Each structure stands twice: as C-alpha cells, then as structure tokens.
Amino acid sequence: MVEKIQSGQGMEAGTQHGVNQVEPECRGARASDFPALQRMLELYQHDISDLYDQDLDERGEYGYDLTRHVDAVDSFAHVALVDGHYAGFALVGPAFVTQTDGWWMEQFFVLRKYRRGQVGAALARHVFQSHPGAWEVGQMPGNLPAQAFWRKVIGRISEGRYTESRLTEGRWKGVVQRFRFDPTN
C-alpha cells in the first residue's frame, strides 16, 4: 500500500525527507575546513560528471586546485554546516564571464541530504553578503535544477532585478544571471 502525502502531511514540522532542517552555520572557510572542502569537491565533481566531461586521475580523483582559495587574495571559499556537520560549500572568484568587475560564483554544492531545505539559500545569502557588489552566477546548460534554484534565490535577493543570458561561445558556456547585491537594501 502506498499512502500519498500532500502538503507535508506525515512529516514532522521542520523536516525534509526526514532530515532536520535547522538553520545552517555559514561562514568563510578556515584552514581546518579545506580537507573537508577538498573531499566535498570530489563529491560535487562526481555529481556533475554527466554534465561536464572529466576523468579521474591516477589516484582516482577528479582533482581541483584550491591554492588561490586558501590564499584568499581574490578568491574565497565558504562552507555550510548543519549541527556541526559539513553540508555544502561555495567558491568565489573575480568576475570574468560577462564582466570584469565584481564576483563569479565558481562552484556551489550542497550535499544531497540537505537539498530542498534551506541550506542552499542560506549559503547563497551568506556568500552574497560577504562579497557585496556586482555578481555573475552561471549554470551548465543541462543543469536545469541548478538554473531553477538560482533563478529563485537571485530573484529573491535582488527583488527580481537581474538579467539572464545564455552563452554559447567563449571561455564559459551556459546560463548566467547578473545582478548587484547591496546589503543596505
């Protein structure tokens, strides 16, 4: 027998698929976070391996160089934790796709256990508040869930004031939203 659950009936308040949706802790990555961040990057790259052609190296890893994020001169790492457990990360660098001023969301990942809750939106808000100004956020052409997520989050945070382009040529290809985040608004 299959019981159809509607409007959250049958689930405890504050849960999503049985996962407690407490407010995540979002912060700039500390030196001690980088080993976990490197591991989450492997999970992220596996998640997108059907969208982005990449192969494992001789150690069975995709690999991602975080040196410039550790140095934190113009590229930064952020993490989200739920009850002290890593739940996701964001990597930020200088804008380069449609503009040279502002910020580019390089990578953004939330562990599956915490998706469809508030972790992704909270992490995005934290990142935008940490780096006010002009923003570019891009998604791969085939990543429709990411496109829907970012339209919703950026729409809320920018009060609907953003532009979206589909880039088919150049260094980066995909959907890009552009907006300005001003923490005083």
Q: What is the mean pLDDT of residues 152-172?
A: 95
Look at 13-17, 28-32, 154-158 and tell me which has the smallest mean pLDDT: 13-17
Q: Which two tokens stand for residue 18?
A: 């049985």
Look at 61-70, 97-106, 123-132, 155-164 and tell me which has the smallest mean pLDDT: 61-70
List, as one string, the DSSP characters of the chain.
Answer: ------TTTTS-TTEETTEE-PPPEEEEPPGGGHHHHHHHHHHHHHHTTTTS-----TTS------HHHHHTSS-EEEEEEETTEEEEEEEEEE--SS-SSSEEEEEEEE-GGGTTTTHHHHHHHHHHHHS-EEEEEEE-TT-HHHHHHHHHHHHHHTTT--EEEEE-SSS--EEEEEEEE-TT-
Check pLDDT > 70 for residue 18. Answer: no
Check pLDDT > 60 for residue 25. Answer: yes
Q: What is the pLDDT of residues 60-113, one digit of tens each?
A: 777 788 999 999 899 999 999 999 999 999 999 999 999 899 999 999 999 999
Q: Which amino acid is at 12?
A: E
Q: What is the mean pLDDT of residues 152-177?
A: 95
Dihedral (CA of 141, 45, 125, 19) sign: positive
Q: What is the mean pLDDT of residues 131-157?
A: 96
> What is the pLDDT, as a whole number, of residue 94?
96
Check pLDDT > 90 for residue 185. Answer: no
> What is the pLDDT, as a whole number, of residue 10?
32
CB half-sphere exposure, 79, CA atoms < 13 A: 22
Nearest to 151 by CA among 175, 131, 167, 173: 175
Check pLDDT > 70 for residue 20. Answer: no
Q: Which two tokens stand for residue 23?
A: 């407010």
Residue 8 pLDDT level (bands cut at 50, 70, 90) = very low
Residue 157 pLDDT level (bands cut at 50, 70, 90) = very high
* Percentage of the chain lying above the pLDDT 90 cut: 66
Give the CA distances from residue 165 to residues 32, 45, 93, 138, 139, in Å, rounded to whole numbers and listed in that order: 37, 24, 20, 9, 11
Question: Yes or no: is domain 22-52+64-181 CATH 3.30.420.40?
Answer: no
pTM (2 d.p.): 0.84
CB half-sphere exposure, 161, CA atoms < 13 A: 10
